[in-house]
Amino acid sequence: MPMPLEGIKVLDFTIWQHGAYGATMLADLGAEVVKVEEPESGDLARWYISQSPDGFNSYFQAHNRGKKSLSVNLKHPKGRGIIYRLATKVDVVTENYAYGVMDKLGVGYKDLASLNPRLIYASATAFGSRGPIAHWRGMDAIFQAMGGAMVNQGGGPGNRPVPVAIPIGDQVGGMIFAQAIITALLVRERTGLGQYVETSGVASQIALQSWRTLATLRHGGIDRRQSPPGRFGTNPTWHFYQDGDGQWFALGLMAHQGWPPFCQAVGRPEWVEDERFASLQARMGNQELENLLTALFATEPRDHWLARLQAVGVPCGPIYSYGELIADPQVAANDYVVEIEDPHWGKIRVPGVPWRFEKTPAGPRRGAPELAEHTEEVLTGIGGYSWDEVAQFHEEKVI
């Protein structure tokens, strides 16, 4: 069966993570994604991020799996000529360089769209292409910093900022980047129009935190952490607890309607009418209730409580490490971790995809490419160059 984006060709200039992961999502959906790299250095992510003892670079693999690598010297006139030729044959160009760099190289939107009016040219910028700091460079930590996450994690203005340990700036930015490109492909399918598409790391943080941002816009004065550090919130039933074996689990009960079933599930039916806990307002910030639940949940194993609570519809789940997560049968059953064949590493397990399509399956097909691994294949295939021309490019150090 065909994959969702099968037949779509992408010329990918993205580096590091923001943008690069978005292009990987296109590859997971079946697009032919050609990663354009400098002939000798390539994407610096190949070398910069710490690697495992066997040389497996999980950072680069995660953000470039399924792509092909084409090495081209963009500072050589013939190198730019190769890009101009490929631009007439692909559907999408992706890039996440600092604003203006692609124009200086002669491969910006105007350069390539003039050759292919149906081209979708997508830029994952740091701060957007307009405004006084459009030219600034940015990465994950900067997106988190400007997006409000660090202040919220740390407790509010005046408190020490605390970054989110996972790269939510780069990773969420990459997801939104892919979403924008797929939307532009749909528009082109309906109208025939190519166009310039732009996202940014800061915009992705606003989208990720739209509730908090909107609340501040509407009411003001709430630019602070909504709960104490180390908590989900101030509601003891929207919190996390430890069982007697030291295992942690999370509760996610918000609606008051869930309180009576909760009390039955934990064996405390008398709490339903207890004036100390009988309303949502009474339970908010109620340290006494939290202390009672802490003691209660320590009396039985985690799985006991999860089964009882889920049986009555109370949202809850185990708190996992990465190792526990990937070992969970639920993850395996839904192909959230899959096995692929890599030409260099053999069979490797990799993250799957967050989608499921009934008739057009998606998912990783191969690992990340070696630098310049597919140069000849891309040039003789998509580019239509002869082998003699490719040999000449090698001699002139164009590729």
The residues near 58 (Cβ < 8 Å, ≥ 6 apart) are 52
Residue 50, pLDDT above cutoff 70: no
271 half-sphere exposure, CB direction, 13 A CA radius: 21
Q: d(Cα 96, Cα 19) in Å, to the nearest integer?
A: 6
Please report which helix (H) or strand (E) contains residue 348, including its range: strand 346-351
Q: d(Cα 234, Cα 20) in Å, to the nearest integer?
A: 38
Mean pLDDT of 86-108: 96
Q: Are 124 and 138 contacting, i.e. CB atoms less than 8 angstroms apart? A: no
Please report which helix (H) or strand (E) contains residue 92, including its range: strand 92-95
In the chain, DSSP finds a helix count (H) and a strand count (E) of 19, 11
Mean pLDDT of 165-169: 93
pLDDT band at 230 (very low <50, low <70, confident <90, very high): low
Q: d(Cα 142, Cα 153) in Å, to the nearest integer?
A: 15
Of 393, 394, 395, 380, the closest CA to residue 81 belongs to 393
Q: Which domains does the chain have, with CATH numbers?
A: 9-208+331-395 (3.40.50.10540), 240-318 (3.30.1540.10)
pLDDT in tens, 109-162: 999 999 999 999 999 999 999 999 999 999 999 999 999 888 888 776 677 888
Q: If you compute the radius of gyration of the chain from its CA atoms, what whole number of angstroms results?
A: 25
pLDDT in tens, 329-357: 999 999 999 999 998 899 999 999 999 99
Beta strand 316-318 pairing with 248-251: antiparallel
pLDDT in tens, 356-371: 999 999 999 999 999 9
Question: pTM for the full model?
Answer: 0.91
Mean pLDDT of 274-297: 96
pLDDT band at 225 (very low <50, low <70, confident <90, very high): low
Q: d(Cα 37, Cα 97) in Å, to the nearest integer?
A: 13
pLDDT band at 231 (very low <50, low <70, confident <90, very high): low
pLDDT band at 267 (very low <50, low <70, confident <90, very high): very high
